[in-house]
Amino acid sequence: MLKLGVLASGRGSNFQAIIDEIEKKKLQASVELLITDNPDAYAIERAKKHNIRHLYINPKESASRDDFFKKIADELKSKGVELVILAGFMRVVKKPLIDAFPNRIMNIHPALLPAFPGLHGQKQAVDYGAKISGCTVHFVDEGMDTGPVIIQAAVPVLPDDTEDTLSERILSFEHKIFPEAIRLFSEGRLEVKGRKVLIKDYPAISSNIVNPPYRA
């Protein structure tokens, strides 16, 4: 069973979606630890409800950002974590954590990367006049939403959309594709080759999901 570590800063709705899939036995994984940089994050309440260990690490108590991420890496490794999940973690991950978990950190971003990286991807899409947006699960590297793409879901941008309405539409697909990406990892079906993530035995087209055209 795949051992997960989750980092979250806020409400943790993607964290909840992952918990739900695990409890439905649709995802063969366990959450070993939730780490948050915010003592008021609602994700902590979700962890408590499901008897998941949780830990607050105060970034202000670290000498540097690298030191902060080394503390996180050490805690995750001490729990035997195999895959790190960023579920609304509002910090750019630094080298100590990336080096500790190479190609084993996943993030979800509310846009079709490489379009609209960074904060407020939904607002960027609305303001730009995009007709299609969506969400992307990717492996994390040292850039801002620049790691290799694993899976994406496409969502229409409607003429009267606001940031909030588009965010809500995208979020429903985030809750589908994040657990799916974790499932593929748990089954050993992901292979990273440069910027491409090969997916073994995956259909070319899946309903409402835009898959990378790279299959092993």
By the 8 A CB rule, do 2 and 30 touch? Answer: yes
Nearest CA among 152, 82, 163, 151 for reference residue 119? 163
**Extended beta strands in the chain, E state:** 2-8, 29-36, 54-56, 83-86, 105-109, 132-139, 149-156, 190-193, 196-199, 209-210
By the 8 A CB rule, do 101 and 119 touch? Answer: no
Which residues contact residue 128 at a Cβ distance below 8 angstroms, ignoring those fewer than 6 apart? Answer: 116
Which residue among the candidates 54, 109, 120, 138 is catalytic per the annotation? 109
Which residues contact residue 105 at a Cβ distance below 8 angstroms, ignoring those fewer than 6 apart? Answer: 83, 84, 85, 86, 93, 97, 98, 139, 140
Euclidean distance between CA atoms 98 and 70, whole angstroms? 10
175 belongs to the catalytic site? no
DSSP strand pairing (149-156 vs 190-193): unpaired
Residue whose structure tokens are 């299609």: 132
Q: Give catalytic residues, as residue numbers.
A: 109
